């Protein structure tokens, strides 16, 4: 996903969560949904685009899954509810990586294997990779996710004004 992580994270925490998340946890989930791409700064400023940013540690699902397991286990051992913000943030990172797996290479079996294949390959149909991606079906899905997220946000705001 190039532009879809933000609206997809918003929709996931708005509709797909098992319970109503506190507003701060929704924000943490959205932040988590964007977080793995923090490596873009390293990609451009330090690495000189020598390695694809999906090869960096920030795009390794095992890292976030292990952290989420630790958070949930610690809460269970204390017989407490897991901390909503940490849980949402880590769930958001895993959502990010699942979305990246459609047209990007994410090594889900790491550290046991670096093998990664996308579910759908974006063919180089234009002179620049961005143009090729913009004409791929998956980018159309991203635009649809944006439309649904904006409509949801506007609907929620209208409903809040009517209730207030």
Contact in structure between 21 and 88 (CB atoms under 8 Å): yes
Q: How does DSSP assign 43-83, residue by residue? A: HHHTSTT-S-GGGSGGG-HHHHHHHHHHHHHHHHHTTSPPP
By C-alpha distance, which of 155, 139, 133, 162 is closest to 11? 155
Q: How far does Cα 27 stand from its chain's mean position?
A: 13
Q: What pLDDT was estimated at residue 123?
A: 83
Tokens read off for 65: 């899954």
Q: What pLDDT was estimated at residue 164?
A: 60
Q: How does DSSP assign 98-161, residue by residue? A: HHHHHHS---TTTTT------SS-----SSSHHHHHHTSHHHHHHHHHHHHHHHHHHHHHHHHH
User: Tens of pLDDT along 40-65?
Assistant: 999 999 999 899 999 999 999 999 99
> With pLDDT > 90 as the criterion, what percentage of the chain qualifies?
70
pLDDT level of residue 18 (50, 70, 90 thresholds): low
The pTM is what? 0.88
Computed over every residue of the chain, the mean pLDDT equals: 91
Instruction: Please state the rounded mean pLDDT for residues 91-117.
Output: 95
Q: What pLDDT was estimated at residue 20?
A: 74
* 109 pLDDT above the threshold of 80: yes
């Amino acid at each position: 996903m190039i532009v879809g992580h933000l609206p997809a994270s918003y929709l996931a925490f708005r509709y797909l969560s098992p319970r109503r998340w506190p507003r701060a946890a929704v924000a943490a989930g959205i932040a988590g949904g964007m977080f793995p791409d923090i490596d873009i700064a390293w990609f451009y400023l330090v690495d000189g685009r020598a390695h694809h940013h999906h090869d960096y540690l920030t795009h390794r699902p095992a890292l976030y899954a292990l952290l989420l397991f630790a958070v949930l286990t610690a809460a269970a051992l204390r017989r407490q509810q897991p901390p909503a913000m940490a849980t949402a943030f880590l769930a958001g990172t895993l959502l990010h990586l699942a979305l990246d797996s459609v047209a990007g290479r994410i090594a889900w079996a790491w550290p046991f294997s670096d093998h990664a294949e996308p579910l759908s390959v974006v063919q180089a149909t234009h002179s620049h990779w961005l143009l090729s991606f913009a004409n791929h079906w998956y980018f159309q899905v991203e635009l649809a996710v944006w439309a649904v997220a904006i409509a949801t946000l506007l609907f929620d705001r209208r409903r809040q004004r009517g209730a207030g």
